[in-house]
Structure 1
């Protein structure tokens, strides 16, 4: 990305043309205790769509003069952006899709990022908060058939892996399925790009390309240009819950620590005995070159969480049509189950999520050192702490706050049973060797140390 910048004023696109004085005050730069800095950093990430850096700290420093101001006028509001990345404009006019996402940022920061607005003292309250945030973003739509496939995978993947994600997305789109991802590049962009072609062929004119993110990750994984529904959840835990509540089928492509975090989160939930009867199509897939990668993932899951966890997913290698057909059949089963149980098609209310998976985890040095990485606990409880460990590694790799913490205090230290730490060390080392921790060409300095 170059350093050319643009100044501009824009009006709301489709919504948020009227705000209360209290809401306006929260976003004003000179108002103490407001949400301005959070709004600024997320807005910059959206304007940097197409940015191929995965360093959230570097993006903020590259555009340190960037500013965004809310202007109140008699006929409504406008946003004034100064020093914005030039790639967000054509002939000085902001690209429509980016303008839409910019006001999605504004909506979500105002509505969902003040803790007192959403008490989460128990599991029911946490789920209610996720539902209300998604409903406010108009992601929860009535009277639609189940058809949302969540695609997880790394931002730093090989070319043949990226091409494969596009092929899978194409096959999903041919079957009338929409795509939901973490909204960034790599395996998050590929399925959406493939689906746009098949949606066009099938004259599926209202295709949904949903991106779910959170403030800590958005600067490192700026929304890709295909996303047409963006939601910024307050933290990684609510983001992950949003995925499993709105998705009807799940596909995992190759990735790094973030993908491992997502897998562990999902398997931890599915291992809860209360969720055993709920159909939940889950496929791990990649091209032939990714066979060894998924064997490593499968081995790690078997050693740490056991065979029961391995039975919750299928591994399909180098067969995009089989993946899509499996998803289509799996989602048909989801529809039949929810109809029989009178559960909503647009939000998976029956799925039980233990409060351990919902409580926000702050990946600082003390919290990382205190994680219980041992087998003297139920598998779904171990999965919760393993998920937190990988979440901390993601923070140290790409998030602004995590990078600064590592620079100041050194690597995070993780300790636990040898039976867990050795396979974890082996898996993480394979991510490093395969350049899955950072974008290719970027030197990787581990942000963690494993203590047996």
Structure 2
């Protein structure tokens, strides 16, 4: 049954009265999307159902599935295999017609406003990236400066860079699969950040990405801050496993993991790392690899590793791994604060002031760090095929920032094999990825990954089957 048109709102029809019923709806934006050109609309209309449409459909389903307790993308796509979404024209702009959508995205016949905003943010970014970035000769995505400019343009189009105030953005990294003690601690840190008028940016998903935002909302409320920013940055390969949590009030979809990581570090005024698994290790190695570049020696960027007292062993192991692979110079780029949320926030607040002074002195923008030097090895997209993973150099004798880049790619491949559809399918077809390297490096990797598995940091639910094999 086709529901009647509803200007500026949502009209739905349920396919059954069951709690998990599928929903048909017609949805109009409420100020979250600029008008699209006729050509942009044509890209996503039903005719053709090309690659852009399929990408949009999958990202849209991920957004509508927010709150489901699973990171199994095949479960999500299989459960809603009949989901469809169409873009249509109407007098006041565009509308979306969804079929067989998850009922959890609706309340009393209305799509939850935050989910609707996220849905149109996906539309905005998918159209912009394919039209203005990938489908335009304006950007040479093999050139480092052009890649950075593309990242800037995507963020500007999403209005992430509209904020013109003092530096206040704290990027928080950590696992989507964490225990209750660690999750509660992330909320405490977020609360302390909120009390200090700091905003939060995360990967937008559950776990350590949701907790800091949830805590910050309370801190902001106590300080009567009504315009707190809760920014979520994701990319199409990960969004289904980590759908945007409902607190995110600014969502941006980056084209790939490398541009997502660059967006994090260029917008950050400080970075907090909570406990996590392979994805968190990837983020740490990306960050340290950049900061170890001699060109960034004078860049002040406060980095704090923090968690509850029960996470002390986790951070000790991470610290040993970094020291043994990247050296003491890498260890000097972060502080570890365990069991003291207020102290972690104080360290960050103090560091943010140093960042403000550095940006002011060097006449760099507060909202985007142009002066940070990011080497091409950290910008070029890495496709984790079996061949590419096997060719990674993981050995002694490499420059620390080069080894960091290769280790980052190794963990990126493990993330793909764990939760990304293409990676999961590759593992099912060809077996686990093989990583080759020095015995010492492989031993360190084995210890760290085994700890992630034992601590259930690789998967939210179910038995974890390693997608990798280490060969010394």
| TM-score > 0.5, shorter chain as reference | yes
Contact 1:27 1:34 in 2 (8 A): no
CA apart distance, 1:32: 5.5
The equivalent residue for 2:463 is: 443
Match of 2:77 among 51, 60, 66: 60
Contact 1:156 1:186 in 2 (8 A): yes
The equivalent residue for 2:236 is: 215
The equivalent residue for 2:354 is: 333
Q: Say which SS state the counterpart of residue 100 (structure 2) adopts.
A: strand
The equivalent residue for 1:291 is: 312
CA apart distance, 1:341: 0.6
Aligned residues: 451
> How far, CA to CA, are the matches of 1:2 and 1:79 in structure 2?
23
> How far, CA to CA, are the matches of 1:240 and 1:138 in structure 2?
18
CA apart distance, 1:57: 2.2
The equivalent residue for 1:429 is: 450
CA apart distance, 1:17: 5.0
Match of 1:315 among 336, 356, 361: 336
> How far, CA to CA, are the matches of 2:309 and 2:358 in structure 1?
34
What does the per-residue CA deviation read over 1:305-363, in whole Å, with 9 as the maximum and x for residues that have no partner?
Answer: 01110010000000001000110000000001110110100001110000110000101
Do residues 31 (structure 1) and 26 (structure 2) align? no
Contact 1:271 1:380 in 2 (8 A): yes
Contact 2:45 2:88 in 1 (8 A): no
Match of 1:74 among 67, 80, 91: 91
The equivalent residue for 1:100 is: 117
Do residues 41 (structure 1) and 61 (structure 2) align? no
> How far, CA to CA, are the matches of 1:65 and 1:143 in structure 2?
44
**Structure 2, unpaired ranges of 5+:** 1-17
The equivalent residue for 2:368 is: 347
Q: Say which SS state the counterpart of residue 333 (structure 2) adopts.
A: coil
Contact 2:258 2:378 in 1 (8 A): yes
> How far, CA to CA, are the matches of 2:322 and 2:46 in structure 1?
47
> How far, CA to CA, are the matches of 2:374 and 2:391 in structure 1?
23
> How far, CA to CA, are the matches of 1:191 and 1:234 in structure 2?
25
CA apart distance, 1:261: 0.1
RMSD: 1.3
Match of 1:6 among 17, 20, 23: 23
CA apart distance, 1:52: 1.5
Q: Say which SS state the counterpart of residue 238 (structure 2) adopts.
A: helix
Alignment TM-score, normalising by the size of structure 2: 0.94
The equivalent residue for 2:185 is: 164
The equivalent residue for 1:115 is: 134
> How far, CA to CA, are the matches of 1:142 and 1:257 in structure 2?
32
Match of 1:406 among 427, 440, 450: 427
Residues 95, 366 of structure 1: CA spacing in aligned structure 2 closer, same or farther, 3 A cutoff? same
> How far, CA to CA, are the matches of 1:228 and 1:411 in structure 2?
38
> How far, CA to CA, are the matches of 1:53 and 1:278 in structure 2?
39
Do residues 266 (structure 1) and 287 (structure 2) align? yes
Contact 2:32 2:117 in 1 (8 A): no
> How far, CA to CA, are the matches of 1:34 and 1:374 in structure 2?
39
> How far, CA to CA, are the matches of 2:166 and 2:404 in structure 1?
32
Dislocated runs of 4+, deviation >6 Å: none
> How far, CA to CA, are the matches of 2:253 and 2:163 in structure 1?
21
Q: Say which SS state the counterpart of residue 13 (structure 1) adopts.
A: coil
Q: Say which SS state the counterpart of residue 343 (structure 2) adopts.
A: helix
By relative contact order (CA 8 Å, sep 6+), the higher-ranking structure is 1
Match of 2:105 among 83, 88, 101: 88
Q: Say which SS state the counterpart of residue 237 (structure 2) adopts.
A: helix
